[in-house]
Homo-oligomer: A and B are copies of this chain.
Amino acid sequence: MTERKLTLRERQRAGTRRLIQAHAVRLFTDRGYDAVTVAEVAEAAGVSAMTVYRHFPTKEDLVLIDQPARLIVEKVAASPATQPVVRRVGGALVDAATVLTGEAADERAVGERFLLDCLRLMVSTPALRARHLDSQYALQQAIVDALGGDGAATQDAAFRVQAATSACLAALHTALTRWAEDDGRTELPDLIARALAAAFGDVVAA
């Protein structure tokens, strides 16, 4: 699975990174994001505050998970260009979620729990929610590029693609929020599919 060619330093670095993030999410969940300072996170992880900033550019990045943008973009690019945009993007989102949540069940237990903790923080903390929504906006730009709506097409066509893509990602966000509220009890791909169906009707029936 994971690359075994990592040098000792790289493993140590990755280790402290995960250590810092784990302590951060735990403290934030316990006492609230705003009530915990970066210095406290650093102390809990046994490092200096500067080290925290070397691994995470901002306090918010301690919680924000880098969306699997690459996977989604690949799936969008691989979708047939003959289908409507909402179907292509929606299908890619469901597929990507299936791949991600379907990984090895043993790692899933711990990994998914951590992910749910992060998601809950993102939904409940205004600053994190805002940053998360903005990262989805960045994902939208990447998806639009992958859809092949390159500068060639009309500006009006590009606008329509933007609108459809943003609507799909909004449905995804609704599904993610619900997933966090449900504590992960419902299967994420199902939630995404249902959110898409609620917004677009049967256009996205895979």
Contacts and interface: CB of A to CB of B under 8 A. Distances in A.
Interface SS of A by simple majority:
helix
A126 B133 contact: no
Interface in A168-206: 168-171, 173-175, 177-178, 191, 194-196, 198-201, 203
B196 A163 contact: yes
A56 interface: no
A129 interface: yes
B178 A159 contact: yes
A160 interface: yes
B160 A198 contact: yes
Contact of A134 (B130, B156, B160, B199): B130
A69 B109 CA distance: 41
Among A126, A164, A170, the one with the most B-chain Cβ atoms within 10 Å of its Cβ is: A170
A167 interface: yes
A174 B170 CA distance: 12
A162 interface: yes
Nearest to A200: B200
Contact of A174 (B163, B175, B196): B163
A171 B166 contact: yes
A114 interface: no
A86 interface: yes
29 contacts: A85-B198, A126-B134, A129-B134, A129-B137, A130-B133, A133-B133, A133-B137, A159-B178, A159-B198, A160-B194, A160-B195, A162-B174, A163-B170, A163-B196, A163-B198, A163-B199, A164-B198, A166-B170, A166-B174, A166-B199, A167-B167, A167-B168, A167-B170, A167-B171, A167-B199, A167-B200, A169-B170, A199-B199, A200-B200
